[in-house]
Amino acid sequence: MGVESQNTTDMSTPIGLLMLGNPVLTASGTFGYSNEYEEFLSLKNLGAIITKGITLNPKKGNPQPRIKEVPNGLINSIGLENFGIHEFIDKKLPVLRDNDIEFIVNIAGESIDEYKKVASTCRESGIEAIELNLSCPNVDKGCLEFGRDEETLYKLVSEVRESFSGVVVVKLGSNVSFPEKIAVTAQKAGADAISAINTVKAMNLSLNPDYKGYKFIKGGLSGPCIKPIALNFIYEIKKRISIPIIGMGGIMTLTDMLEFLAVGADAVQVGTATFTDPNLSEKLVFELKNFMETNGFSNINELKHSLRTRT
């Protein structure tokens, strides 16, 4: 069990009207719904956890196999398996609140109407922040198709914005031709922040021993192998938008996190690395705090300004 940080350095990070204690979050789909990781770390030390993706009704997800390790990464084809927003409200939301855990609810749907209904349910339950999954590449309907087209994305985000008065984060992926246009559209539609990037469409192939036929898995690629893609994506959209960016994609070390801040991220999400190092996100909070104190940075803005000075 981790110990709660005695924070003397100001690492507070605003995401819209949500003020986080620090810029280290956990990525959706890698950290459960609420306190599943509490035996490994003190959840209160994190900036926030982002819940597993939640839909209007329960989803069984994709058939097996759904996970494949690849060099420096992982392909997942989970397919947004979850027990639906109503069971989340009944069983998991009280746990988050009783334990005073900062959180953002990741939501997904197969239609704009489904996104709106889930967002409205979140609003009615007093949830303060949601992350719209508009980029998951391993479901047949919804998500990625909404995040590719500017007109469709604008319609979805703006209608969710009308249904939800709290903080709206839009999660984008790199499977688009012009990321900066998509990000600008999300901002114009009322997004309070962008999170990027989601997993990258990928495929792993295994030839049969006799070279007659093969097995394969298609899904979303994550881990250190996609970090260069994520850094470039954030660098490009930062030039065009003014709302905060939450960066992710292969973060495993303090240096990784600093690189994301350098190219324009205001906060980060730790995802795939959690599977091999369950308390990594908490360790990164402590490492960042120590780095800032050692180098004389009194707050996150000073650190970002220094990192973004090109030499």
Closest CA to 226 of 283, 183, 271: 271
Q: How far apart are CA 243 and CA 170, in angstroms?
A: 11
Query: What number of residues does the chain have?
Result: 311
C-alpha angle 142/147/153, rounded to 5°? 95
Encode burial over 62-89: b for 16+ CB neighbours within 10 A, e otherwise.
Answer: beeebebeeeebbbbbbbbebbbbeebb
Q: At what angle do helices 179-188 and 150-163 cross, to 10 degrees?
A: 30
Q: How far apart are CA 273 and CA 252, in angstroms?
A: 6
Identify the DSSP state of 204: E
Token pair in block for residue 227: 């970090």
Q: How far apart are CA 14 and CA 132, in angstroms?
A: 18
Look-up of token digits 């997004």: 191
Active site residue 225: no
- Phi/psi at 73 (5° precision): -170, -170
**Any idea which residues carry the catalytic annotation?**
136
